[in-house]
Structure 1
């Protein structure tokens, strides 16, 4: 059974992000996605993993009451370079050991104008994302699984083509659920930065980059076949270029070119006016 996020978890975690205005984060030059006093030592992780009871856990986390350092986490924006798509500061068991045993994690994302949080999925968690400031277009690719695949004698042939997708424009304090393992993305269509907070029902949600993972497969013949075996669409040379240039997480929607080779914006001024 899929365990979706509890209301208490979501409200608490989103409040953490909402407490700090975007303007302050945008000017912070720190290269770190979390505060430097977060204790992520291997010893603390090992102690919490082996804690037999909640009293044992308290004794490990609160060695000097009222100090609450081990259960606090500060999200810091590191998007300080113009022309970058954005960044995510993520708290998981990897950098915040207090989450061990809680089945919850949290992310705060800063999406610059025209920034794209590229298509990805979380293999071990459902995500509930809420926009705190600005606007984002969010997309979710639906799952098509009728219980079988391939060509079966006596059954209708599979239908090629794109899988259906749902989209929504999220504005301030509007949230969207992204089910565990499903492909999704967020895109900032405006000229202003956006901020979101996202809660996960796993302390180790993971992140799978769809394009990067796909083009990491080898040999090239396998990729070419999976893409329809049309060498005019994809060949070894193009595959090599893709592998070297696919973004790790965020990207900026670039300008496209019309049939005459003239540059034109991905979103026109009229398009932007909608948002």
Structure 2
């Protein structure tokens, strides 16, 4: 396939997804302002009540360790006012859905065809909860708790998660925490060093990552490079210090700045 054809097809695919999102947003707005449930039903087509997890174009999160498809109010308008949402996850061998939280919903997860391990921590003072979930078993993650799931097997596995709110939200812990101002993160970690923090953040894999070394070795897998596209966008308030910004763009870092040197907050006029 020529570069021109590939570029054209990519552009058409992006345009199609944007159209779907715009149509869904418009329908969601109409459903939320409908006067009653009968009016909502009349706004929907029969096919609007069906969501295809195997052929979704939106609601997808992915990485080297697998991917998940989420059906929520943003891409499944029939959920407006229903108080439920669902995600289907596909974990590769040794894949991990890295630590995250759902700020607006409790999750119940069902293991379909493989065994996974899960860990959960709630609010300050609560203990760590660890479980092994076999096929046919389920576990619960309370709203707002930090939790993860890991496929400890050498074959792909699938899980299904249901939520008690139509817009549960997901907050990936590592990406969001390391997306705070680097000097704040450095101080909260015992003054690790701003440039150390920047280096760690730059290497973060996307939320579906390859998991523990023991599993990789047992299954004969190697970690290798992983996509890192879900990092927190930078604005003036959480901007990288100038040397780190230069290093991120490929410019050699100045040796005049110590990793523990306090950094200034960049203004909107500074280039990142």
TM-score (norm 1): 0.65
Query: For the structure 1 residues 267 and 244, does the alpha-carbon distance in structure 2 shift closer, same or farther, using more than 3 Å as the test?
Result: closer
* Structure 1 unmatched ranges of 5 or more: 1-30, 63-67, 146-162, 256-264, 271-275
CA–CA separation in structure 1 for the residues paired with 2:218 and 2:25: 51
CA–CA separation in structure 2 for the residues paired with 1:266 and 1:56: 52
Pick from 59, 69, 82: which aligns with 2:42? Answer: 59
Pick from 112, 120, 140: which aligns with 2:92? Answer: 112
CA–CA separation in structure 2 for the residues paired with 1:215 and 1:209: 10
Say if 2:25 and 2:74, in contact at 8 Å, map to a contact too.
Answer: no
1:47-90 Cα offsets, whole Å, 9 max, x none, are 2111111111111114xxxxx21110010279xxxx92010100
Residue 48 of structure 2: aligned partner? 70
1:133 alignment partner, SS class: coil
1:199-238 Cα offsets, whole Å, 9 max, x none, are 00111101111111111111x3321221123xxxx22222
Alpha-carbon RMSD across the aligned residues, in angstroms, is: 2.7
CA–CA separation in structure 1 for the residues paired with 2:218 and 2:85: 38
CA–CA separation in structure 2 for the residues paired with 1:192 and 1:224: 38
CA–CA separation in structure 2 for the residues paired with 1:129 and 1:168: 12
In the alignment, does 2:160 pair up with 1:227?
no
Say if 1:178 and 1:184, in contact at 8 Å, map to a contact too.
Answer: yes
In the alignment, does 2:194 pair up with 1:236?
yes
1:15-62 Cα offsets, whole Å, 9 max, x none, are xxxxxxxxxxxxxxxx99x9x999953332222111111111111114
Residue 151 of structure 2: aligned partner? 188
Task: Output aligned runs, 1:26-105, within 5 Å.
Answer: 40-62=23-45, 68-76=46-54, 84-105=64-85
Pick from 124, 133, 136: which aligns with 1:144? Answer: 124
Is the helix fraction higher in 1 or 2? 2
* Number of aligned positions between the proteins: 198
Task: Output aligned runs, 1:111-260, within 5 Å.
Answer: 111-145=91-125, 164-218=127-181, 220-229=182-191, 234-253=192-211, 255=213
Say if 1:121 and 1:209, in contact at 8 Å, map to a contact too.
Answer: yes
Please report how far the alpha carbon of residue 269 of structure 1 lies from its aligned counterpart in structure 2 after TM superposition: 4.3
2:136 alignment partner, SS class: coil
Please report how far the alpha carbon of residue 142 of structure 1 lies from its aligned counterpart in structure 2 after TM superposition: 3.4
Q: Which structure ranks higher in relative contact order (CA pairs < 8 Å, sequence separation ≥ 6)?
A: 1
* Structure 2 unmatched ranges of 5 or more: 1-12, 57-62, 220-272
CA–CA separation in structure 1 for the residues paired with 2:55 and 2:97: 15
CA–CA separation in structure 1 for the residues paired with 2:139 and 2:146: 13
Please report how far the alpha carbon of residue 132 of structure 1 lies from its aligned counterpart in structure 2 after TM superposition: 0.8
TM-score (norm 2): 0.66
CA–CA separation in structure 1 for the residues paired with 2:36 and 2:148: 39
